[in-house]
Amino acid sequence: MTSEGPPPLPPPPTPSPSPDVSARDADHRLHPMSWLFVLVQQLKSFIVPLGAILVFGRRGDNMYELWGLVGVGVLVVISLWQYFTYRYGVVGEALVVRSGLLERSLRVIPFARIHNVALQQHLLHRLFGVAEVRLESAGGQKPEAEMRVLKLDDALALERLIRRRAGAAATGETGVGDEPSPVLLHLPPGEVLRLGLISNRGMVVVAAATAAFFQFGGDDAIEGFAEAGVRNAVGWAGEHHYGTVDYALAAAALVLVLLVMVRALSVVLAFLQYHGFTLSEQGRRLTVERGLLGRWRTSASRRRIQAWTLREGLLHRLFRRRSLEVDTAVSQEGHQQQRALRELAPVATPADCDALVEHLLPQAGWGALEWRPLPARTWWRLFLPVVPFCLLLTALLYWRFDGWGLLGLAWLPWAVFKSRQHARRIGHALSGELIAVREGWWSRHWRFAEIDKLQALQLTRSPMDRRWGTATLRLDTAGANALGPPLRIRFLPVDDARALHDRLAETLSTRPLRW
């Protein structure tokens, strides 16, 4: 993607937004082929009912079979209607969007309200040289504006204009966003390959495809295929007089082949999603661009970052890599959360991740944090929840396999070892600007946030906490990922937990909340 070409938007006629904005101020159209992309988007929503009409329609009834084509024709008309009635333009320090003809809508969006600009290009977008633009705000239920689609040069020029005006509105300075964009991180093909080997995206796709297949009645087909395959394999093995060891080796080889295929799929998905990944910085905004067939570009202000997560799984350690993610205050709608600026470093060396944190949080002193471990007896708290599950599993195995089922108790020594290792690494750190938590052994993570970004503090005590004289301090920020690790400090002695809670509460009461 290039950013050359004259910007399509004229200079604003007034230095500040006018309260009397009219529809005539929005005088820029979408791309002439935008109706096609709107049609494709609408067809995705109606593909199931339209397909059902075409497939299950009564044979011999021509009018009934044409209902699907009539539906497509209606969607084409709607798409063309949106193209001819959609306008946008700039008035002062705001973007004006007009849509509709019979039921008209006029939106005035101040640049200061726009917190994220997302540009997306699928393969069809790239063939036509266009891009889809979404303007998002913090905490909104949906995007402030969606433009399907603009010419790529127009989309980039609009992004530059919004970034410049939004930065000027936030800092009170002119010329914000005109400086060059230094690259903070770039992933060459070798790093994308490592990302594919580390990630488990292939297994997620396989699981989703299998669930969808069963959902639509494919369980009988899978059962028949599996039964026929097992019958043929057993018959072939019987003819060659294979023994138990041969069966075990064949099963292990089959599992190994399946794992290799899943990892290969993960590598392919990684290249499709993260090819050419580039994290750049312009003023106070961060921009990420990535993708092979489709390009995805999004930007957000650094002050919108609410919390940070460093991840390090077993495969990360084998490749000596980590990943760095952030939570940003953006639209709360599910698919908008997925398009938000979230991954600053999908995969990078520990030194590169630490350097990114030090650069983006220069006052936090990330490298100089003093981590406070928990008391050594904490491992019991991690081990005890495993005991009922292990005993129940052993009882079921004993009921099914008699004495061999007692082997389930072998899980207890492993659980003790794992709990001890986990407890050794649990800790928290507090500086004048940052609160951080680390947990995990097999799969590790560091979760931290600026104190000024905390929105709520909660001190909780379970029955186990009351028995052991401990408490849990939960810290809440905006835009938290529900699937990510929580920002919490567990198993603190109750006096230490209350002292830390009071200290953070006092600090927050004297500082303004930053978004």
**Residue 299: helix, strand or coil by DSSP?**
strand
The answer on pLDDT for 280 being more than 60 is yes
CB 309 within 8 Å of CB 485: yes
CB 487 within 8 Å of CB 449: yes
Least confident range of 17-31, 172-186, 255-269, 396-410? 17-31
pTM for this prediction? 0.78
Q: What is the mean pLDDT of residues 297-313?
A: 89
Domain positions in the chain are 23-179, 201-274, 378-422
Q: What is the mean pLDDT of residues 89-98?
A: 85
Query: What Rg do the C-alpha atoms of the chain give, in angstroms?
Result: 28
Give whole-number Cα distances, 157 to 10, 32, 67, in Å: 11, 18, 42
86: which residues sit within 8 A by CB, 6+ positions away? 29, 30, 34, 97, 98, 99, 147
What tens digit of pLDDT does each residue of 22-79 get? 545 567 888 888 888 888 877 776 665 555 555 555 555 555 556 656 666 777 777 7
The DSSP call for residue 352 is: H
**Could you tell me which CATH class the domain 23-179 is placed in?**
mainly beta
